[in-house]
């Protein structure tokens, strides 16, 4: 929850900054400028938050294994990662994270264009908050579903070399070929082994609860985002 909030805050701060810095025209949401600004925000957000996502994944596994309180487990995880893997250990799964910067492009490109089709933008007089709620929820779900396979791969790479028993405690299914499946040698190897031993459905595990969780949460976030932008514009015009 905290990691997601921080990631969203960074993304939208950089995205809003990009719109101002590069003279974004809300009447042309389909331009390459929208793609560039979204990609820039996605890359910055991913770079700054990848260590948090790696720690979060390890923490869930470590707590199941040891039963330690969160603050002690967190301290142990960080110390162990730094001691045995160095700084690069915090960036495990960063390569798929770079590809996940496309997430921001898909999300904001669809969001801006649907708003444009519905005649809604920050400078318009249209105040219907149901529009950013719907378009925000839809665009987030669309991006999440499109890139869910890459997200699964990222999480698997961040797991390090945990035992099958530890991973099963998180309800993550594994094949009978334990050793080969758990030890992934990069992104391509991870894709190959998941597909070979678990099939295509493994890339879309948790799809239904993901959509149910993402749509309303993202809708509310975009309403708050648009309301904040309007409030700032009003103060600047006074």
Say yes or no to pLDDT of 178 above 60: no
Torsion of Cα atoms, 179 then 182 then 185 then 189, to 10°? 100
Looking at the chain, the whole-number percentage of residues with pLDDT higher than 70 is: 79
Containing 16, the helix (H) or strand (E) segment is helix 2-21
Q: How many domains does the chain have?
A: 1
Q: What are phi and psi of 121, to 5 degrees?
A: -160, 170
Say yes or no to pLDDT of 101 above 90: no
* Mean pLDDT value across the chain: 80
Give the pLDDT confidence of 215-230 residue by residue, as tens digits: 998 999 899 888 888 8
Rounded to two decimals, what is the model's pTM? Answer: 0.69
The encoded tokens of residue 1 equal 């929850």
Domain coverage including residue 120: 2-237
DSSP annotation string for 89-157: GGGTTHHHHHHTTHHHHHHHHHHHHHHHHTT--TTSS---THHHHHHHHHHHHHHHHHTHHHHHHHHHH
CA–CA dist 221, 140 (Å, integer): 11
Which CATH number goes with the domain that contains 58?
1.50.40.10
In this structure, the number of other CB atoms found within 10 A of the CB of residue 165 comes to: 11
Report yes or no: 46 and 101 within 8 Å, Cβ to Cβ: yes
pLDDT at 127: 64
Instruction: Please compute the mean of the pLDDT values over residues 64-86 and round it to a whole number.
Output: 76
CA–CA dist 58, 159 (Å, integer): 6
Report yes or no: 118 and 135 within 8 Å, Cβ to Cβ: yes
The encoded tokens of residue 90 equal 């915090």
Q: What are phi and psi of 168, to 5 degrees?
A: -65, -25
Looking at the chain, the whole-number percentage of residues with pLDDT higher than 90 is: 16
CA–CA dist 151, 190 (Å, integer): 12
């Amino acid at each position: 929850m905290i990691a997601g909030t921080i990631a969203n805050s960074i993304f939208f701060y950089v995205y809003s900054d990009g719109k101002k810095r590069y003279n974004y025209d809300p009447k042309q949401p389909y331009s390459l400028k929208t793609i560039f600004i979204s990609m820039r925000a996605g890359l910055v957000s991913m770079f700054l938050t990848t260590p948090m996502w790696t720690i979060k994944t390890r923490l869930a596994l470590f707590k199941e294994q040891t039963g330690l309180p969160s603050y002690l487990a967190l301290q142990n995880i960080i110390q162990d990662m730094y001691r045995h893997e160095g700084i690069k250990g915090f960036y495990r799964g960063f390569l798929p994270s770079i590809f996940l910067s496309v997430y921001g492009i898909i999300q904001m490109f669809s969001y801006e264009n649907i708003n444009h089709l519905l005649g809604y933008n920050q400078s318009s007089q249209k105040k219907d908050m149901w529009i950013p709620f719907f378009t925000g929820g839809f665009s987030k779900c669309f991006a999440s579903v499109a890139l869910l396979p890459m997200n699964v791969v990222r999480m698997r790479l961040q797991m390090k070399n945990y035992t099958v028993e530890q991973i099963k405690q998180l309800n993550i299914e594994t094949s009978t070929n334990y050793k080969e499946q758990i030890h992934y040698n990069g992104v391509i190897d991870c894709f190959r082994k998941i597909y070979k031993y678990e099939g295509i459905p493994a890339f879309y595990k948790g799809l239904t609860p993901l959509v149910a969780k993402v749509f309303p949460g993202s809708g509310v976030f975009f309403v708050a985002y648009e309301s904040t932008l309007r409030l700032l514009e009003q103060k600047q015009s006074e």
